[in-house]
Amino acid sequence: MSSVPDSKKLVRSPSGLRMIPENGAFSSPFSLDEPQWVPDKECPRCMQCDTRFDFLTRKHHCRRCGKCFCDKCCSKKVLLPRMCFVDPVRQCAECSLVSQKEMEFYDKQIKVLMKGANFTVTLGTSEKSESMVCRLSNNHRYLFLDGDSHLEVELSRVSSFQILTEGFTPGEKDIHTYTSLLESQYITEGGNSRASGMLLQYKAVGSQDLQQLKLNAREDNKTASAWLAAMHKAAKLVYESRDQ
């Protein structure tokens, strides 16, 4: 019997309990695979402070990078939703900082994306546009656009991404381009620029032809600007997931 889309199962790995999709094809585009642990025989010393492991100084593996550390250098247990762990897991100092920063995305930005915002949407090179609400799907895999019509864009099939801005800090371009989600240049936070739109190139399911989608926020639409800023952070995680 085939898996039901978005259904999940609880599995135990060497790193801890994980709640993962029944079918790997339904994984979140933000997710990361568990790393291969550095074999015990290859790490006689802590890979951070160089302390030699012995009967008293035990070795621990960071659940995010898989490297070996002593207890002092790998003592923090932090949530790691990108690997679907149910509970906080042991991480080295560097990885724990990264995971803590990502939690802001899961606590705040992802809720903004799922709530959605209003945009004027133009498909391809058409001169016609439509007012639509754009939001991230509950499983994080799609952008849903709803107006008089309905459109779904799968994030894994997005090949290029542009954030359009109004106003810029001297020396910066007013259009920050994600030339590819695999070779991304990210918006510099701060300054006077405000996200005003988004340009996507993607392949629809069942097609290898690139299609273009442009979203424009209405003037002084703070909700849309906040949604675009959150989308910028989401694209960064998608890029990292593809690059692992």
Q: What is the mean pLDDT of residues 169-194?
A: 40
Token pair 């993962």 is found at 20
Q: How far apart are CA 112 and CA 165, in angstroms?
A: 19
Model pLDDT for residues 229-242, shown as the tens digit of each residue: 999 889 889 888 87
Nearest C-alpha neighbor of 70 from the set 55, 51, 89: 51
Verify that 100 and 54 share a domain, yes or no: yes
Verify that 122 and 238 share a domain, yes or no: yes
Contacts of 25 (CB under 8 A, 6+ apart): none
Q: What is the mean pLDDT of residues 182-203?
A: 61
**Phi-psi category of 138—alpha, beta or left, where left has phi over 0 and alpha has psi -120 to 50?**
alpha
Residue 105 pLDDT > 90: yes
pLDDT value at residue 163: 82
Verify that 62 and 142 share a domain, yes or no: no
**CATH number of the domain where residue 92 is located:** 3.30.40.10
Q: How far apart are CA 61 and CA 70, in angstroms?
A: 9
Verify that 92 and 138 share a domain, yes or no: no
Model pLDDT for residues 41-88, shown as the tens digit of each residue: 999 999 999 999 998 899 999 999 999 999 999 999 999 999 999 999
Q: With cut-offs at 50, 70 and 90, classify the pLDDT of residue 5.
A: low
**CATH number of the domain where residue 130 is located:** 2.30.29.160
Verify that 76 and 175 share a domain, yes or no: no
Verify that 53 and 141 share a domain, yes or no: no
Verify that 13 and 76 share a domain, yes or no: yes
Verify that 160 and 208 share a domain, yes or no: yes
Verify that 170 and 196 share a domain, yes or no: yes
Verify that 121 and 237 share a domain, yes or no: yes
pLDDT value at residue 111: 95
Q: What is the mean pLDDT of residues 116-134?
A: 91
In a domain, 3, yes or no: no
Verify that 220 and 125 share a domain, yes or no: yes
In a domain, 155, yes or no: yes
In a domain, 228, yes or no: yes
Q: How far apart are CA 45 and CA 53, in angstroms?
A: 5
Verify that 55 and 92 share a domain, yes or no: yes
In a domain, 2, yes or no: no
Angle, alpha carbons 173-174-177 (nearest 5°): 75
Q: How far apart are CA 30 and CA 116, in angstroms?
A: 18
**Number of independent structural domains in the chain:** 2
Residue 172 pLDDT > 90: no
pLDDT value at residue 65: 96
Lowest-confidence region among 31-40, 50-59, 134-143, 214-223: 214-223
Q: Which residues of 97-110 are buried (b: 16+ CB within 10 A; e: fewer)?
A: ebbeebeebeeebb
Q: What is the mean pLDDT of residues 169-196?
A: 43
Domain ranges, residue 164:
116-243
Model pLDDT for residues 200-235, shown as the tens digit of each residue: 889 888 878 899 999 999 877 889 989 999 998 898
